[in-house]
Amino acid sequence: MNEIKKIWRARKWMKSNEPFLYAWHAHLGYVHDLFDEFQHGATVTAVADKREMNELLLTRWSEVGVAIGHLKIDRKGLIRSKKSMVESMSKSSDQNVGVLLKEMMELHIPILLSYSELLNGEEYASYQDDDYAGTVAATSSFIERFAFPKVYQWLQKVDAKSVVDFGAGYAGYLSRIGAKEENMKLVGIEKSRQVCLDAESHIPYELKSSIDLYPEDMMSWSWDGDRFDVAMMNNLLYYFAPDERYQLFQKASEVTSDSGSLIIISPLHESQHGHAFSAAFNSFMSAHSNLHQLPTSKEMVDMASKAGFELKQMKPIVKEGAWYCLTFQKAM
């Protein structure tokens, strides 16, 4: 009986690891544009020769793809990408979500796998902005697709004429606003100079309002113009220790008008949705010496109140990831 239980448990854990194959396969296909290469049917040899790749390893990748349904073999014996994989994992597709896999596979999972050493006292890793700024900015751009409608609704509600975005990334929110509204004052603060340069050269919309980007640290940046109607802070709070986060709300209060608003988009801990992912995010953050735990909604409301803001809206953006859009406005 014990032997049967042992075999059953082993099979259970093997099956629990099967979903990883889907993520691993899709990630490689996204990074190397392999779903594009096999979109219209091709042999492994042809793709390997064209891309100067290791044919044996590409064969193994294609075999996994066929086994899990990402690829299929057509009547001519050619390997062909499933249409759904091209749509979701081709960089040329406006439906692609590959950047989320890229961040998870290249940033989050390696750190989680290092927990064994960390638990035994190994030194914590130090998160380097320059190494991952592009990937993180691209992920933020993906989240922006879900969040922007809620952001724009609020801008219209308060008749905003000026917006400052702290941690602007690729200026996605500002670009979307600038494409819709004329005569808006749009300012972005992004610590990474390279991300600023990339944003300026790859704005995807025809703008009705120009955007000014500043490659500076948000806490040391100063503004001597008219105060803004709306300040935005997206995916920033975990870069600050809990006892330092009040400074973010103070900064927002300094640069916004007497009736100004603050919009924060962030994953939340102990929220209504996404408990597994928020716990995993916290595990990732805690494995770094310079990252910090996710905020809770209570923590956010308390700090906002001290800075003169009150919560007006809290809406989920991506429930599975515990991402929320919180909107605050200065108390009148």
The model's pLDDT over 93-132, given as tens digits with 9 standing for 90+, comes to 988 889 889 989 988 999 999 999 999 988 887 877 666 7
For the ranges 37-41, 111-115, 138-142, 287-291, the one whose mean pLDDT is highest: 37-41
The predicted structure's pLDDT at residue 129:
64
Q: What is the mean pLDDT of residues 8-16?
A: 89
Q: Residue 324's beta-bridge partner residues?
A: 266, 316
Centre a 10 Å sphere on the Cβ of residue 313 and count the other Cβ atoms it contains. 15
Q: What is the mean pLDDT of residues 216-221?
A: 91
The predicted structure's pLDDT at residue 87:
96
Is the per-residue pLDDT at 134 higher than 90? no
What distance, in Å, lies between the first and last C-alpha atoms of the chain?
A: 71
Q: What is the mean pLDDT of residues 3-7?
A: 86
For the ranges 135-139, 145-149, 174-178, the one whose mean pLDDT is highest: 174-178
The predicted structure's pLDDT at residue 130:
65
The predicted structure's pLDDT at residue 179:
96
Q: What is the mean pLDDT of residues 47-62?
A: 98
CB-based contact 95:138 (threshold 8 Å): no
Is the per-residue pLDDT at 326 higher than 70? yes
At CA 262, angle to CA 329 and CA 225, rounded to 5? 105
The predicted structure's pLDDT at residue 131:
64
What backbone phi and psi angles, to 5 degrees, belong to 15? Answer: -65, -35
Give 145's pLDDT tier (boundaries 50, 70, 90). Answer: confident
Give 43's pLDDT tier (boundaries 50, 70, 90). Answer: very high
The predicted structure's pLDDT at residue 4:
86
The predicted structure's pLDDT at residue 304:
96
Is the per-residue pLDDT at 85 higher than 80? yes
Q: What is the mean pLDDT of residues 249-268?
A: 96
The whole-angstrom separation of Cα 322 and Cα 234 is: 14
CATH number belonging to domain 129-330:
3.40.50.150
114, 125, 185, 231, 286 from 120: Cα distances, Å: 10, 14, 52, 43, 15
To the nearest whole number, what is the mean pLDDT of the chain? 92
Centre a 10 Å sphere on the Cβ of residue 42 and count the other Cβ atoms it contains. 18
The predicted structure's pLDDT at residue 143:
83
CATH number belonging to domain 2-90:
1.10.10.10
The whole-angstrom separation of Cα 70 and Cα 91 is: 16
The whole-angstrom separation of Cα 263 and Cα 327 is: 5
Is the per-residue pLDDT at 71 higher than 90? yes
The predicted structure's pLDDT at residue 90:
96
CB-based contact 234:265 (threshold 8 Å): yes
Q: Residue 329's beta-bridge partner residues?
A: 261, 310
Q: Which of 51-65, 161-175, 189-203 has the lowest mean pLDDT?
A: 189-203
35, 49, 165 from 210: Cα distances, Å: 37, 46, 14
In the chain, what are the domain boundaries? 2-90, 129-330
Whole-model pTM over 0.95: no
Q: Which of 24-28, 86-90, 310-314, 328-332 has the lowest mean pLDDT?
A: 328-332
For the ranges 32-46, 125-139, 217-231, the one whose mean pLDDT is highest: 32-46
The predicted structure's pLDDT at residue 124:
85
Contacts for 131 with CB less than 8 Å, ≥ 6 apart = none
Of all residues in the chain, the percent with pLDDT exceeding 70 is 97
Q: What is the mean pLDDT of residues 231-244?
A: 91
For the ranges 45-49, 123-127, 292-296, the one whose mean pLDDT is highest: 45-49
The predicted structure's pLDDT at residue 112:
92
